Structure 1
Amino acid sequence: MTTRTGTRLTIFPLPGALLLPRAFLPLHIFEPRYRAMVSDALARDRRIAMIQPLPTATESEAPALFEIGCVGRIAQVEAVPDGRFNLVLEGVTRFRLLREMDVSTPFRQIEADLVAFEGDADDPEPLPSVIRAEVEIEARRFAETQGFDIEWEEVGRLDDEALVSGISQVVPFDVASKQALLEASSLVERADMLVEFLRFFGLDAGEAPTLQ
């Protein structure tokens, strides 16, 4: 639904969960309010907007949020007999939060500006070969440091955007770093940032932060 001031979106505030345009994010939905959110989305437009709470947000029912998130479309859904859902969201476009709406639903809704991110619909320019190589090299180093088992042949076959988005989503960076990757203005900027984060967070496996 679009109003004079923005687009109405149902939000799923989840720290550390990064959704990017054209990327896929698997989710297991078990809380009653978010089960209601999924049922509502399936009955309407299949859209759920992912956004992170601020690191300083209190443990309340409505923690403060970052301004930028990403709209997802339910691409796959499995309804579990006990009422839970297994979802795969496909990233559509980023958005800027304008205001939170006063609603009676158990899940939160906002008005958002999507116009500022119309360029998200366009395929990005390919990465320069040197940047692509840096991403792959640093990803391998990070995986070795953390003890991750990766099928590198499959990784090497990914296109540039899928490579950068996939690594950005799965690496255990902190909330602020995930948000910075989301807000990057281009694929090249996101790739450069990802390389720096992989180097920084991969310095010491014993001290690397994990998702909370």
Structure 2
Amino acid sequence: MSATGCRPPRSIGSWRNSAAAPAWSRPAPRKPATAATPAARGADPMAIRAPLFPLPNVLLYPSAILPIHVFETRYVHLVEDLLARGEDRLVLGLLRDGWEDDYFGSPPVHPVAGLAQVLHFGEKLDGRYNILVQGIGRVQILRQTGRGVPYRLVEVEPLAEREPPPPQAEALRRALRDGLIDFADGSLMVQADAPLGYLADVLLVALPTPIEEKQELFAILDQRLRAEKVLQLLERAVRDRRSWSAAPMPIAAGWN
């Protein structure tokens, strides 16, 4: 399996149905979709069961659109089972450090993951699939369930984000929007009314921050706290950029 990393598009708020590059859709009410399998009796009533699609270097943020090339046999089975059941939900979880040692087994994933809706199934002639998924929201992985399939099934619980009071949210939203535009040197268009949590996520994707650090911020449900931490990362990235540009260029050795 492989996925193109979520990079910020040129226009935040546009919807691009393309398997060539990830994009972001503007947050909006979604069309009804086939729900994932309800959790077993006796489990948390809010929990749902869905297949787990672990990735080593990608997070799926709410509203982000991500193309995934599916070629491993176990994940080809996962896609075929979704099609057979008429379902379109799966969980994208980030693999923890050290996943290489047990990749073909069941390496651990971070407990806060992204719930995805499959927008498009595209089968290739060699039996592989190209699928296009969109982030629905953050979920907490409660437990691994199910037997008899080559991939993992997990029970997950939807996580609700906490919004700050409107005046505080507006100030942070302006700071994030301005930061996004400045960091992209004015080449990124951001809609004026983009929500706070959405802007924090898009800026986090754009920053050159290690994926494990991004996962820590991804798991923060308090939008104020997440936005403030993303702005701190932006300040660090800007300082690094200035120090790189101020560093003297090395003089190449020559021959007489």
- The answer to whether the superposition gives a TM-score over 0.5 is yes
Q: State the partner residue of 1:78.
A: 122
Please state how far the C-alpha of 1:125 moved relative to its aligned partner.
7.6
Distance 2:75 2:205 in 1: 21
Distance 2:215 2:228 in 1: 15
Q: State the partner residue of 1:34.
A: 75
Distance 1:80 1:23 in 2: 24
Q: State the partner residue of 2:96.
A: 54
- Larger Rg belongs to: 2
2:214 alignment partner, one of 174, 178, 182: 178
Q: State the partner residue of 1:98.
A: 142
Q: Are 2:194 and 1:159 equivalent residues in the alignment?
A: yes
Distance 2:176 2:67 in 1: 23
Secondary structure at 1:138's aligned position in 2?
helix
CA offsets per residue over residues 42-90 of structure 1, 9 Å max, x none? Answer: 3332111011111244521211121111211112333232233232222
Instruction: State the AA in 1 paired with 2:153.
Output: Q
1:123–1:63 CA distance, 2 compared to 1 (3 A): same
1:81–1:109 CA distance, 2 compared to 1 (3 A): same
Aligned 8 A contact 2:53 2:91 in 1 = yes
Distance 2:223 2:49 in 1: 27
1:93–1:140 CA distance, 2 compared to 1 (3 A): closer
Q: If the length of structure 1 is used for normalisation, what is the TM-score? A: 0.75
Please state how far the C-alpha of 1:13 moved relative to its aligned partner.
0.9
Instruction: State the AA in 2 paired with 1:93.
Output: G
Distance 2:207 2:164 in 1: 22
Q: If the length of structure 2 is used for normalisation, what is the TM-score? A: 0.64
Instruction: State the AA in 2 paired with 1:194.
Output: V
Aligned residues: 197
Distance 1:170 1:84 in 2: 30
Secondary structure at 1:200's aligned position in 2?
helix
Q: Equivalences for 1:59-208 in 2 at 5 Å?
A: 59-60=101-102, 61=104, 62-101=106-145, 103-114=147-158, 117=159, 119=160, 128-143=169-184, 151-153=187-189, 155-156=190-191, 159-160=194-195, 161-204=197-240
Instruction: State the AA in 1 paired with 2:174.
Output: A
Please state how far the C-alpha of 1:185 moved relative to its aligned partner.
1.4
For structure 1, which runs of at least 5 residues remain unmatched after alignment?
A: 145-149, 208-212
Distance 1:35 1:81 in 2: 13
1:96–1:129 CA distance, 2 compared to 1 (3 A): closer
Name the Cα RMSD after superposition: 3.1
Distance 1:171 1:78 in 2: 31
Please state how far the C-alpha of 1:142 moved relative to its aligned partner.
4.0
For structure 2, which runs of at least 5 residues remain unmatched after alignment?
A: 1-36, 245-256
1:123–1:198 CA distance, 2 compared to 1 (3 A): closer
Aligned 8 A contact 1:10 1:110 in 2 = yes
Distance 1:32 1:158 in 2: 43
Distance 1:173 1:27 in 2: 22
